Amino acid sequence: MFISEHILVHKRSPDVVAPLLKQEQRPAAVSTKTLYTYIDQGLIPGVSNESLWEKRKRIKRKRRAIKRVKKQHARRTSIEKRPKTVEKREEFGHWELDLIVGGKGTSKPVLMTLIERKTRMLRVRKLSDKTQASVLQALKAIERSMGVGPFRSMFKSITADNGSEFLDVEQMERSGFSKKRHVKLYYAHPYSSWERGSNENANRMVRRFVAKGDNIGKYTIDRIDEIEKWINNYPARSQNTNPHRSVSIWRSPHEQKLSGPFFAAFNFTIHRLSTFRL
């Protein structure tokens, strides 16, 4: 059955499946709300609310009132000072950074996720461990392969949390070619994951394939590339009013200026962002 296949096999949500039914002029074409109702009533064979990743996993939590204190490290820049253009997603080149870790007692490898705020372009790469050295090595590798100019055009800022692997702001901001700064780092407030919403949403998408507690070491580079490609081609309403538009055609006229060598170097480099290959 079309609906069951797309939800269970292709891991798509009813929000994506309902428009596809109408697009392909299926006899069972219904609205998104009606499709959710059918699932609630058990009318879709093999599909239940437990089958819906977002509905099963997303738990509404009250945002805790957090007392803001002066940052302990004078060199780190709070997200409060991040330009409004970054917040409004008006300019290309501002990224969010995070690590996805495996279960306790499993191997050391982790997944590094980088997502560009304006386009939601996601890159997922396997690092050898959850250390600052591995993160720095990955970031420096991007710059070395792209060159200083293209890197600065691609990476204007990176927003991270306060994990120990991101805290050496001097090294993370410093160019691998000189002591000059090549990217600006901003830090979200502690316990405020919503301040990096794009990263959190992307990580949830990755978790559809890499479950919590899983051994990340068993995932090959090719498999991680497949997961990344699936996410980058997942219909995204935020990109366009047409939910069928894929983020694979994400470049705006402004970003077209960065096509050619810049994007070619970036795509080549990002696929080498692994400290080892299985």
- Mean pLDDT of the 206-213 span: 90
By the 8 A CB rule, do 119 and 217 touch? no
- Mean pLDDT of the 13-17 span: 81
Identify the residue whose tokens are 């306790």: 104
Distance CA 81, CA 132 (A): 24
Residue 220, pLDDT > 80, answer yes
Sorted by where each begins, the domain ranges of the chain are 2-57, 79-270
Model confidence at 132, pLDDT cuts 50, 70, 90, reads: very high
- Mean pLDDT of the 151-169 span: 91
For the stretch 22-77, pLDDT in tens is 887 787 788 888 888 888 888 888 888 777 766 655 545 555 544 444 444 558 89
- Mean pLDDT of the 242-253 span: 38
Give me the percent of the chain exceeding a pLDDT of 90.
37
Q: Tell which CATH architecture fits domain 79-270.
A: 2-Layer Sandwich (3.30)
